[in-house]
Amino acid sequence: MSGSDTEEIVVALVGNPNVGKSTLFNALTGLRQHTGNWPGKTVAVAQGRYRYKGRTYRLVDLPGTYSLCARSEEERITAEYLRGQEAHCVLVLGDATCLERNLLLMLQVLELTDRCIFCVNLLDEAKRRHLEVDLPALERELGVPVTGITASSGQGLDRLQERVRQMADGFVPVHPRRVVEDLEAVLHPRNRRTAERIAARFAARAEEIAAQVLSGERKPAMTWLDRLTLGRWTGRITMVLLLLGVFWLTISGANVPSLWLERLFAWGGRWLRLGAEAMALPPWLTGLLLDGAYDTAARVVAVMLPPMAIFFPLFTLLEDFGYLPRAAFLLDHRFEACGGCGKQALTMAMGFGCNAAGVIGCRIITSPRERLLAILTNALVPCNGRFPAMIVLIALFFSADSLAGAVILTGFVVLSVGMTFLAAAVLSRSVLPGKPSPMVLEIPPFRRPRVGQILMRSLLDRTAAVTGRAVTVAAPAGMVLWLLGHVTLGGQSLLQHLAAVLDPLGLVLGMSGAILAAFLLSFPANELLLPLLATILSGSAVLTETEGAALGTLLTAHGWTRQTALCTILFLLFHWPCATTCLTIRRETGSWRWTLLAMTVPTALGGILCFAVGLLL
């Protein structure tokens, strides 16, 4: 396949996880890229474009995979794409510090296509380890072009782009030295014995090539950071301290930006009201659009955006630094005992920032059963939308001291993690039976984080996406809330009638009907819980502010005790996910049945805990 001068050149980017695919992809495409699900799949595929010598190249970043043997969705997608011969050139990226493992994938790709270039990344890191790769010898052994780069600094990218151009235009002779010459045997071996024999041949060939082209120390020594983060006790202590540090920075750092956003939206609301008056809009329409849709969406964004804008970059920083795979390794045996996968530790940590993002993060889990298990239990850890209400209630009814409050909050977080293990164990022995699969997880070396890329990826791909979905849910929900507050029946608003209907159930759970009504109506966003509760209790028709002392007085006047606060916090920890998360679960699983189960599990657990508290206290 060769391209004309006006034709867009398609380049497929293939490689193992943690070899720098994202770095190379971003270096070539810059901002000219987008990420979306593969048609009919839940695996994300990024595509971007770059220009070279007057031609446009479309770079397709296929899912990171260790093999093409179709055991996971990522492997199937990559193999099917390469087999379809859609790309003018296939660019396989390898890591100079672990070349032998990367060669296993490269040799399998050569069974599918001749239009292939092997690119060896991280030459700078290999040099620091006194490891040298003989690139010309490697090219002779593979029979296809080989080039070396350091993607983080841009070294070798010009040479790489030139080789891609030559390959796409058919100017590079290739003579690939294949291992089995049997495509179907590679992708779909007839039986386990055949698969093992083929795998052994690939492994032997990769070892043979690596021995010929590599020189120097091939096994890096464990650093003090490795011993600290992977040690039996030091690793767990480090993990807890890092997560607590991220939580503290997120919670404490979000207060001022949230206040700024509230003032900004209030200023914007005043101008919108002036505009509504100038247009002579009827009062009901102004209330529906501004008091309902605008004020609700503004409150959600003001509370939700700052914590996410802090948490996601911090989380991505740990990811880029190389720490998160170590955390997954430390927790793997605990999740395995519950029938899950150690990578669920990463998705659970993402859930602390936003459960919707945590659900999306479950794509990193290869096994469909274990991925679904992680999705169904992600909402058991509190997201940033629930933290503010928990902090306020702890300060009002348990301790106003910041240190004591932090200890109490940490206790609730530990409880949520424990319930995640319990729920995973129950689900894996009932609706999702099966044995946990071995976790294939590379422990990459610690690397200097790329701050610019981290900010771009975390703020644009994660924070903006989740905030956008939240606004699309919160705005129409705000209109419904405004109607419920303004439509009266028998002298009371529909909000107050709803609270009265739910009061018997609320008393059984150690709360009240007003609290349950606030939980139901805050389904669009957990941030709405306390404003809605204050609105119902005060008899107001619009969302009421929830500043500390005034809220405490209001709650106490309506019979709140420590038991009421404890049950409310427990139900806040364990109840149905917000609308944004539910929509994300539906999109990721493709099933409303699994979405309903994901709502039922935490709600049932919260109801049981609240009922138990009512019996014991």
Confidence of residue 608 (pLDDT cuts 50, 70, 90): very high
pLDDT (0 to 100) of residue 451: 72
Identity of the residue numbered 387: F
CA distance 261 to 459: 17
Over the stretch 420-431, which tens digit does the pLDDT of each residue have?
999 999 998 888
pLDDT at 38: 41
- The stretch 447-462 carries a mean pLDDT of 69
pLDDT range class, residue 237, cuts 50, 70, 90: confident
Four-CA torsion 407, 409, 412, 416, nearest 10 degrees: -120
**pTM of the shown model:** 0.65
Range in 174-183, 338-347, 380-389 the model is least confident about: 174-183
* Angle, alpha carbons 189-194-196 (nearest 5°): 105
CB 151 within 8 A of CB 157: yes
Residue 392 has pLDDT above 60, yes or no: yes
Nearest to 410 by CA among 439, 382, 447, 436: 382
DSSP 8-state symbol, 445: P
Residue keyed to tokens 């709502």: 599
Tens digits of residue pLDDT in 295-307? 878 877 776 677 7
The more confident residue out of 218 and 58 is 58
What's the confidence (pLDDT) of residue 601?
95
Average pLDDT of the residues in 312-341: 78
Say yes or no to pLDDT of 205 above 60.
Answer: yes
How confident is the model at residue 175, as a pLDDT? 81
pLDDT exceeds cutoff 90 at 44: no
Residue that wins the pLDDT comparison between 222 and 545: 222
pLDDT at 2 over 60: no
- Nearest to 537, CA basis, from 506, 509, 498, 496: 496
Question: Among residues 290, 305, 275, 270, which one has the least CA distance to residue 481?
Answer: 290
The answer to whether 88 and 168 are in contact (CB under 8 A) is yes
Cβ atoms 163, 145 nearer than 8 A: yes
Place of tokens 């003018």: 88
Question: Does 137 have pLDDT greater than 90?
Answer: yes
Model confidence at 227: pLDDT above 60:
yes
What whole-number percentage of the chain has pLDDT above 70? 84
Q: What pLDDT is attached to residue 577?
A: 93
Q: What is the band of 315 on the pLDDT scale with cuts at 50, 70, 90?
A: confident
User: Is a pLDDT exceeding 90 seen at residue 437?
Assistant: no
> pLDDT class for 606, splitting at 50, 70, 90?
very high
**pLDDT tens digits, residue range 61-101?**
888 888 887 566 667 778 888 888 889 999 999 998 888 88
Amino acid at 250: T
pLDDT in tens, 472-516: 777 887 788 788 878 888 877 888 888 899 999 999 999 999 999
Among the ranges given (330-334, 521-525, 551-555), the one the predictor scored with the smallest mean pLDDT: 330-334
Paired strand residues for 479: none
Q: How far apart are CA 65 and CA 187, in angstroms?
A: 14
| Cα distance between the two ends of the chain | 75
- Residue 376 confidence (pLDDT) above 90: yes
